[in-house]
Amino acid sequence: MTYDEALTYLDSLNTFGIRLGLDRITRLLALMGNPEGSYKTVHVTGTNGKGSTTATLAAILHSAGVRAGMYTSPHLLDYTERIKIDQTEVTRADFAAAISFTKQCATELVSEGGESPTQFEVLTAAAFYHFALRKVEYAVIEVGLGGLLDSTNVIVPEISIITNVALDHADRCGGTLQAIAEQKAGIIKPGIPVITAADEAVLPVIRTKAASARASLAVLGQQFSACLESLNAGGQVISIKTQLYGQVGPARLKLLGRHQIANGALAVMAALHLGQRDERITAAAIEQGLAGVVWPGRFEVIPGQPPIVLDGAHNPAGARVLRAALDEIFPGRSMVFLLGILQDKDIGGIVSSLIRPADAVVVAAPESERAAEPQLVAKLIKARRTEMAASIEEGIHKARRLAEQDGVICIAGSLYLIGYARAIINNRQTNYGQV
């Protein structure tokens, strides 16, 4: 199977859509020899920040000399971004080989009377198989959707991390914060430590689940804390204090935004816990990992005149922290937004959280069948100027034209927007073709 053939196969699985549940993935992995049991794992869920936390912990493990895999979703440009070992993307050849083997087992599953697995289930199984094949010691696994019924929830991790809980995917995870929290808390396993930065509104749900599972619980602001020491456009310096493991830092964190302080603290707390059983995971390795972590498209600043900020904020909570970070890192600068949002998101909530009357906004459709029409988004915007673009590339040109001499361009609203925009800005080739 070639890489293009792998993509064709994955695309064919989209017909089945999102079908939550663990039966298919459990049976599929059994046919594959249960590769997920051959290495240690850390499981990460949350409404926002789970990708950043996953990337930060994987960077720390790499700095410690631990052979570590990382599984995240979605990708910005290529499927290979989802599967990494030692901070390096899987090659297209290895990706195709993993998908090929997974397809063989999926075909066997169907022949035995089982349901055909979903695209995400195939990707998850392929990642688990590739990690086993390449003999990783640890894999940091990001949940795709929710937690309880997500296909990644077949693992028994060393630690479970719940970054936070906010309203997103309400149609699939429940219409309330408590219902969503119950889905996130579904990754908690008996006796497995839990680390969270969730706030008081949902902590009772997580506490109850942890108590019933007899799992220890460490909460940011209680058993450990984090503070900002200094900040500039190149990164921030943070300190993390813990009741059990002492202090880490002051240490440089490459990722920008106050929200990344919490994500970094979660990764540090997890690393400190793992370090109790692995002497390679030292304070020095933790600080090196914090300084070196790279997570594209999450408050990623592309230098220039004007500078361009790429951020995947796609719900009101994410939009609020993005706006706060913009105002703090670029105080007094005029803002031009290139905005594209999916139709199943809280468009009004995102817009009201992110856009101010003095801003200029260009609206373009993300590269997704679920993209909201630009006209629909534009109607909800109250800004000094709002324009629409027929394409993302045109949107970038319009945003550059609208940017004032001291201005900043921010591209946000969907990972399906910023992935393609990032390719245009960097003049890269993507699955969508040459751009």
pLDDT band (50, 70, 90) for residue 171: low
- Tell whether the model's pLDDT for residue 433 goes beyond 60: no
Q: Which range (23-37, 204-218, 264-278, 418-432) has the least confidence?
A: 418-432
Tell me the residue type at 50: K
> What pTM did the predictor assign?
0.91
Cα 123-124-130 angle, rounded to 5 deg: 85
pLDDT at 151 exceeding the cut of 50: yes
CB 323 within 8 A of CB 410: no
With residues binned 3-state (H G I as helix, E B as strand, rest as coil), the percentages for the chain, rounded to 5, are 45, 20, 35
- pLDDT the model gives residue 432: 35
Alpha-carbon gap, residue 167 to 181, rounded angstroms: 10
Quote the percentage of the chain above a pLDDT of 90: 88
pLDDT in tens, 323-366: 999 999 999 999 999 999 999 999 999 999 999 999 999 999 99
For residue 172, the model assigns a pLDDT of 57
**pLDDT (mean) for 157-180:** 81
| Mean pLDDT on 151-177 | 83
Strand partners, 310: 300, 411
Q: Are 345 and 312 in contact (CB under 8 A)?
A: no
- Band of pLDDT at residue 21, cut at 50, 70 and 90: confident
Mean pLDDT of 39-54: 96
* Per-residue pLDDT, 10: 96
Domains observed in the chain? 3-292 (3.40.1190.10), 300-434 (3.90.190.20)
The pLDDT of residue 429 is 41
Q: Which residues make Cβ contacts (< 8 Å) with residue 37, sequence separation at least 6? A: none
Whether residue 124 is predicted with pLDDT greater than 90 in this model: the reply is yes
pLDDT for 207: 98
CA angle, residues 63, 65, 67, in degrees to nearest 5: 110
User: Measured between alpha carbons, how far is 299 from 295 in angstroms, rounded to an integer?
Assistant: 9
- How many other β-carbons are positioned within 10 Å of the β-carbon of residue 304? 10
For residue 202, give Cα distances in angstroms to 28, 143, 150, 206: 34, 19, 20, 7
The token pair at 206 is 């997580």
Q: pLDDT, tens digit, for every residue of 295-318?
A: 999 999 999 999 999 999 999 989
| Closest by Cα among 19, 16, 29 to 109 | 29
What pLDDT is recorded for position 96? 99
Among 85-99, 166-180, 183-197, 210-224, the minimum mean pLDDT is found in 166-180
**What is the rounded average pLDDT for all residues in the chain?**
94
pLDDT band at residue 60 under the 50/70/90 scheme:
very high
Q: Higher pLDDT residue, 193 or 18?
A: 193
Sort residue 367 into left (φ over 0), alpha (ψ -120 to 50) or beta.
beta
